[in-house]
Amino acid sequence: MSNLFNGLIGLVIFALDVWAIASVINSNASGKSKILWVILIAILPVLGLIIWYFAGPKANYRR
């Protein structure tokens, strides 16, 4: 049962990281800034996601 729970938590974190990276890519941030944010989120999945949520560039869906 513990393995199932850990797997679900891992899947949720992975999905949130993919969403955060997509949001960074769709933001109006500069190219270098986007690369640094994507690297941070990819290397530190949980901490990078939290930092991005509070301080990172958000997607600009109004075009």
Q: Do residues 22 and 57 lie in contact, with contact meaning Cβ atoms separated by under 8 Å?
A: no
Quote the pTM value. 0.87
Q: For the segment 1-35, what is each residue's pLDDT rounded down to a tens digit?
A: 789 889 999 999 999 999 999 999 999 999 999 99
Q: For the segment 29-56, what is each residue's pLDDT rounded down to a tens digit?
A: 999 999 999 999 999 999 999 999 999 9
> Which is nearest to 40 in space by CA: 30, 60, 55?
55
Residue 61 pLDDT > 80, yes or no?
no
Residue 63 pLDDT > 80, yes or no?
no
